[in-house]
Structure 1
Amino acid sequence: MIFEKTVIVAFCLYLFVFVCECKYSPRYNVMELTNQLGMTAELHNVTTEDGYILKIFRIKAINGKEQENREPVLLQHGLLGSSEQFLHAKNNSLALILFNNGFDVWLGNSRGNFHSRKHVSLDPDRDKEFWFYTLDQMGQYDQPAVIDHILKTTGKQQISYIGHSQGGGSLLAMASGRPEYNQKIKIFVGLAPAAYMKHNRHPLLVISKYFADLLKDLIQFLNVYEMEAVSNSEFFSKIMQGACGEKVNYRINCRPVIDFLSDSLTSLFDYSLAPEIFTTTPAGMSFFQILHYAKMHIHGTFEKYDWGPEMNLQKYNSTVAPKYDWSKITCPTVLIYGLSDALVNHKDIKYIAKKLPNLIELYKVADDRFNHLDFLWSNNITPLLHDKVLTILNNYRS
């Protein structure tokens, strides 16, 4: 089984990287999806301290009606994701539900995905340095820049933050590495936040655990640092649509793809959403992001990326990568997990819960089949998850 999944991983990496006829299709992007839901989205460009230009979106109106004095909430996607993931579920999408309940909804995009593939001086197609980032830089630069932009734009003092997977991990990295930002977070809702990865059992990380250094050497030898976004690859887009497009039997053709991505039972997955999902997912990233999670899985700790002794000495003034200090993460936090989540194991979430000094609640989704992808695309997502998230945010309204 592991060998078969290894072959799948290798094939997917080949498609992501080497088979690319770059072509961007606007179908099912944020603007189109919000329009379908009777809303409009406003684009904001945010420049980080280290020069990355991030595109974030603010939902402005529904059915032509503006509402004043809303409290801002930022939704941040996970690894290989984009802001579209909070809109795919249509009337059950978290963005729509929060907006309909009076929140000022902002959708983030991490550096390197197809929305945020720009820099003030680096060219992502020519400069490999563009891709030299991990979760660390998202916590150090991306989230602070986005939070400050939202607060400046809205005139508020705090935001609520909802992060799925890496989107939650980057908040934890920020709160530990830049603790002054804890006071700017009214409430952090971590949807299976990916930070402590000791018990992760996904084959991608299991394989990387044994070959992390080899993968790093291979990436540098080939001079290929980007995992390509499906929306930028015409060939890969056709592959994904052939498996999960509108004219296929989702459960027969698409289920192997979903099973691999979640490494779990997919009985709750809403297959009707698949054609939309795979026009923007995977959304692109740096290979160093995967390597960072592999290193944390190997070391069994929440730490900064291990660049090797020499580079570590330059970056950290130490030959070993420093650990993040859990005690500095003081923002009010609710952690939500699924029992069948193979990517962010419930044991790891419980470990994080014990480490956080201001944990408000540790919550298990009621259905034990709930896995990592179900946080976005479950066929029963509103009663299982979104109602709970809304209750949490309502409890922290001013």
Structure 2
Amino acid sequence: MAKISASSLLLILLFVSAAASRTKIYSINNEDVHATDGICKTMVEKQGYACQEHLVTTQDGYILSMQRIPKGQSGEVPDKPPVLLQHGLLMDGITWMLNPPDQSLAFILADNGFDVWLANTRGTRYSRGHTTLSPNKSAYWDWSWDQLVAYDLSATFQYVSDQTGQKLHYVGHSLGTLIALAAFSQEKLVNMLRSAALLSPIAYLNQMSSLLARTAVDIFLAEDLYWLGVYEFDPRGEAVAKLLEAICNKPGIDCTDLMTSFTGQNCCLNSSNSDVFLEHEPQSTATKNMIHIAQMVRNGNIAMFDYDDKDKNMEHYGQPTPPAYNMTNIPNDLPLFLSYGGKDMLSDVNDVQVLLDSLKDHDGDKLVVQFREDYAHADFVMAVNAKQAVYDPLMAFFKLQ
């Protein structure tokens, strides 16, 4: 990724935000999102792959966009099970296609005979529909990753299972690993699952070494926005840009290379892909979701959203503190592939070790752990050598399940 100064990034974000406000057309039910503007048209079909657009409605009314790449470039019918790809925080399904086809996991899986499905969580560009709520209203953004666990993930799992009649493999990156681990700890979805691959796994965040991210948490970045009435956390928006500028002006914070400051020193990104990245990412999430993640950093645990009020917690959970997601409850016979990096400043090696300690009783033949000393957070989805380093071992693992 090319280095971008903080001031330049702020200008880019403000410019894109202004342009987006003129061009994005969203209705309450997604009908006005032009089909020609979807991920199939903009990212998949241009590379010579067949693609289908799907809409999935969650139990709480959010209308999610999904894409299916039903076969590889050869056109041969897939001979392997479906794979659901779940992106991370502030990203969408395009995460898996930012590199050329021979370096992008979505296309690599399709070319290897898998039936590929892309998820896009609520609030991202193509998943802003709802049966009754508009994204212009605060109520639309009243959710955190608890709801991604309870509703989005279950809806996409069920949809793929229903459409294919098969159990599926799952691949998550970053936040996509957190919501999966949380669901598995409640023994949800495992009846529809063959195996799960967790890239740059996020469970515990207490030892996260990104100074920029920790500073954002320490100065209550998300809470400030929430108190200001900014319920949508839009990285391209003016409010977030101003707060980012304030953070970058703090002593000891180096924002000259913003991605490295957040993620760690990625070893193997193609700097020419920065234009592709900025054209499509980053994406919006709920400010409440950012607050929930900040709580994880401060508290060092994996628990449901804390309303910071005993009465409100009692109202939502029937107890004064939020219930925890217990990682030791993940079924010991669930096939898991975990890959993490030594340079990752978000999925810190010490936090990953805490997760691995909680899986110490996992069946030995059902847990594969891969460590890449040179990889940081973005390498797992954008490294030019990720096919050889991560994706080939991942596919080999899938074929055994």
Matched residues in 2 for 1:215 and 1:32: separation?
32
Matched residues in 2 for 1:98 and 1:113: separation?
24
| Residues 1:377 and 2:382 aligned together | yes
Matched residues in 2 for 1:89 and 1:40: separation?
18
Matched residues in 1 for 2:112 and 2:43: separation?
19
- Going from structure 1 to structure 2, the CA distance change for 1:46 and 1:160 (only over 3 Å counts) comes to same
User: Displacement of 1:267 after TM fit?
Assistant: 3.8
Partner of 1:35: 45
Matched residues in 2 for 1:281 and 1:215: separation?
19
Preserved CA contact (<8 Å) 1:333 1:361: yes
- Going from structure 1 to structure 2, the CA distance change for 1:186 and 1:346 (only over 3 Å counts) comes to same
Paired residue secondary structure (1:186): strand
User: Displacement of 1:17 after TM fit?
Assistant: 11
Select the residue among 107, 110, 113 that pairs with 2:124.
Answer: 113
Partner of 2:284: 284
Q: Structure 2 counterpart of 1:272, which letter?
A: S
Partner of 2:346: 343
Moved over 6 A (4+): 25-28
- Going from structure 1 to structure 2, the CA distance change for 1:255 and 1:375 (only over 3 Å counts) comes to farther
Partner of 2:392: 387
- Note the residue ranges of structure 1 that are not aligned, 5 or more in a row: 1-6, 237-253
Q: Deviations over 1:258-292 (max 9, x none)?
A: 32342x22342211211111111102111222211
Q: Structure 2 counterpart of 1:92, which letter?
A: Q
Partner of 2:258: 257
User: Displacement of 1:95 after TM fit?
Assistant: 0.9
Matched residues in 2 for 1:292 and 1:69: separation?
40
User: Displacement of 1:228 after TM fit?
Assistant: 2.3
Preserved CA contact (<8 Å) 1:140 1:173: no
Paired residue secondary structure (2:157): helix
User: Displacement of 1:210 after TM fit?
Assistant: 2.5
Paired residue secondary structure (1:353): helix
Q: Deviations over 1:5-64 (max 9, x none)?
A: xx88x9699949985634249779443321232202111111111111110110024447
Q: Deviations over 1:297-338 (max 9, x none)?
A: 111111111112232111111221111021322232121100
Preserved CA contact (<8 Å) 2:226 2:288: no
Select the residue among 61, 70, 74 that pairs with 1:60.
Answer: 70
1:129-168 map, 5 Å: 129-156=139-166, 158-168=167-177
Q: Structure 2 counterpart of 1:192, which letter?
A: S
Q: Deviations over 1:126-153 (max 9, x none)?
A: x201111111111111111100000000
Preserved CA contact (<8 Å) 2:72 2:112: no
Matched residues in 2 for 1:52 and 1:16: separation?
29
Paired residue secondary structure (1:259): helix
| Residues 1:219 and 2:225 aligned together | yes
| Residues 1:186 and 2:186 aligned together | no
Matched residues in 1 for 2:287 and 2:216: separation?
11
Q: Structure 1 counterpart of 2:190, which letter?
A: N
Select the residue among 161, 172, 176 that pairs with 2:181.
Answer: 172
Matched residues in 1 for 2:145 and 2:262: separation?
20
Select the residue among 40, 44, 57 that pairs with 1:47.
Answer: 57
Select the residue among 360, 370, 387 that pairs with 2:367.
Answer: 360
Matched residues in 1 for 2:65 and 2:377: separation?
25
| Residues 1:98 and 2:109 aligned together | yes
Preserved CA contact (<8 Å) 1:308 1:319: no
- Going from structure 1 to structure 2, the CA distance change for 1:265 and 1:324 (only over 3 Å counts) comes to same
Preserved CA contact (<8 Å) 1:75 1:161: yes
Normalising by structure 1, we get a TM-score of 0.83
Paired residue secondary structure (1:40): coil
Preserved CA contact (<8 Å) 1:205 1:297: no
- Going from structure 1 to structure 2, the CA distance change for 1:13 and 1:93 (only over 3 Å counts) comes to closer
Matched residues in 1 for 2:97 and 2:173: separation?
14
User: Displacement of 1:99 after TM fit?
Assistant: 0.9
Preserved CA contact (<8 Å) 1:30 1:87: no
- Note the residue ranges of structure 2 that are not aligned, 5 or more in a row: 1-5, 25-33, 242-254
- Going from structure 1 to structure 2, the CA distance change for 1:338 and 1:147 (only over 3 Å counts) comes to same
- Going from structure 1 to structure 2, the CA distance change for 1:48 and 1:283 (only over 3 Å counts) comes to same
Matched residues in 2 for 1:363 and 1:215: separation?
33
Matched residues in 2 for 1:395 and 1:317: separation?
43
User: Displacement of 1:66 after TM fit?
Assistant: 4.3
Report the RMSD for the aligned CA atoms in angstroms: 2.9
Preserved CA contact (<8 Å) 2:13 2:235: no
Q: Structure 2 counterpart of 1:93, which letter?
A: S
User: Displacement of 1:69 after TM fit?
Assistant: 4.8
Paired residue secondary structure (1:349): helix
Paired residue secondary structure (1:268): coil
